[in-house]
């Protein structure tokens, strides 16, 4: 299991805006337990009785060629919570971002069967103007061995050095041109270099909040890709005084800009502090 990164890996992250980790982010037992949760979750079976904050695909309601996505499924399922709120994952993210601690903003449970369409390329931090600071670092973990034609996450190398673009909301799911955003944002004369994350089961990647990323259609014909994502904020993050988000600003207490640990738990800090109730989650090994 990966416990820390080398100086070379940190330098690679800072240079490219992402770091690919071939394996060792999740145990074999953890992978098995996590895979078992996907079908029940997407069938609306929530272990805790709490619905995820966003349910972006429902059988019979949404087209079969869309990527299935849930946001903050950790609130619905303790096995999902055990991974996306992992102390080790938080520590690794903090090392790359040079944060003294991290808290979760949200998770994504992603399921991309063969034939599903693209996810438009975007910058995560473009959606964070309701936070101070408006930034994050993201960990993406594959629950299966990936291949380039199965629509894994892809990054535009070096794009974290480009300016922040406005958030894309209309062409996020199943766009015809999933690279339109970075193509328009690229500095003059810069050619896009996209890098797919091809890793073993339990491998994945970390990326900077400004790194352009998305995924092409799953054209493999056979591979159903499952991935689990943690979006981490610096531990001192707070809500913006005036900017709001249609979903997540509902957790802002009136007259208080701090982020409640019931909804944005502290996953790791250099002092050793961690939101106490996280100790109740199951051990994935």
**pLDDT above 90: percentage of residues in the chain:** 94
Does 153 reside within a domain? yes
| b/e per residue 129-157 (b: at least 16 CB within 10 A) | ebbbebbbbbbbbbbbebbebbbbbbbbe
Domain count, the chain: 1
Encode pLDDT of 59-86 as tens digits: 999 999 999 999 999 999 999 999 999 9
pLDDT of residue 202: 98
pLDDT band at 170 (very low <50, low <70, confident <90, very high): low
What CA–CA distances, in Å, run from 70 to 49, 136, 156, 226, 247?
A: 15, 19, 24, 12, 13
**pLDDT above 70: percentage of residues in the chain:** 99
Encode pLDDT of 108-141 as tens digits: 999 999 999 999 999 999 999 999 999 999 999 9
Does 19 reside within a domain? yes
Residue 101 lies in domain: 7-280
Asked whether the predicted pLDDT for residue 224 surpasses 90, the reply is no
Does 121 reside within a domain? yes
Does 11 reside within a domain? yes
Does 208 reside within a domain? yes
Does 2 reside within a domain? no
Does 225 reside within a domain? yes
- Here the CATH number for the domain that contains residue 110 is 2.60.120.620
Does 165 reside within a domain? yes
Asked whether the predicted pLDDT for residue 171 surpasses 80, the reply is no
pLDDT band at 27 (very low <50, low <70, confident <90, very high): very high
Question: Would you say 44 and 131 are in contact if contact means Cβ atoms under 8 Å apart?
Answer: no
pLDDT band at 257 (very low <50, low <70, confident <90, very high): very high
Question: Would you say 88 and 141 are in contact if contact means Cβ atoms under 8 Å apart?
Answer: no
């Amino acid at each position: 299991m990966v416990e820390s990164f080398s100086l070379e890996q940190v330098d690679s992250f800072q240079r490219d805006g992402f770091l690919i980790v071939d394996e060792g982010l999740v145990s074999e037992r953890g992978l098995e337990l996590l895979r078992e949760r996907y079908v029940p979750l997407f069938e609306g079976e929530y272990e805790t009785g709490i619905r995820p904050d966003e349910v972006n695909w429902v059988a019979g309601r949404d087209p079969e060629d869309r990527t299935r996505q849930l946001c903050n499924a950790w609130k619905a399922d303790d096995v999902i919570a055990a991974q996306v709120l992992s102390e080790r994952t938080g520590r690794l993210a903090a090392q790359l971002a040079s944060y003294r601690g991290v808290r979760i903003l949200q998770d994504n449970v992603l399921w991309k069967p063969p034939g599903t369409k693209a996810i438009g390329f975007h910058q995560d931090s473009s959606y964070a103007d309701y936070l101070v600071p408006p930034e994050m670092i993201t960990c993406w973990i594959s629950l299966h061995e990936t291949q380039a034609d199965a629509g894994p996450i892809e990054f535009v190398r070096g794009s974290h050095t480009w300016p922040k673009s406005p958030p894309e909301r209309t062409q996020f799911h199943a766009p015809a041109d999933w690279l339109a955003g970075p193509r328009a944002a690229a500095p003059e004369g810069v050619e896009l270099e996209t890098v797919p994350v091809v890793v073993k089961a339990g491998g994945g990647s970390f990326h900077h909040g400004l790194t352009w990323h998305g995924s092409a259609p799953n054209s493999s014909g056979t591979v159903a890709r499952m991935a689990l994502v943690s979006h981490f904020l610096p531990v001192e993050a707070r809500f913006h005084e005036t900017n709001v988000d249609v979903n997540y600003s509902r957790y802002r207490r009136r007259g208080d800009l701090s982020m409640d640990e019931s909804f944005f738990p502290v996953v790791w800090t250099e002092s050793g502090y961690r939101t106490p109730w996280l100790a109740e989650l199951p051990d994935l090994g």
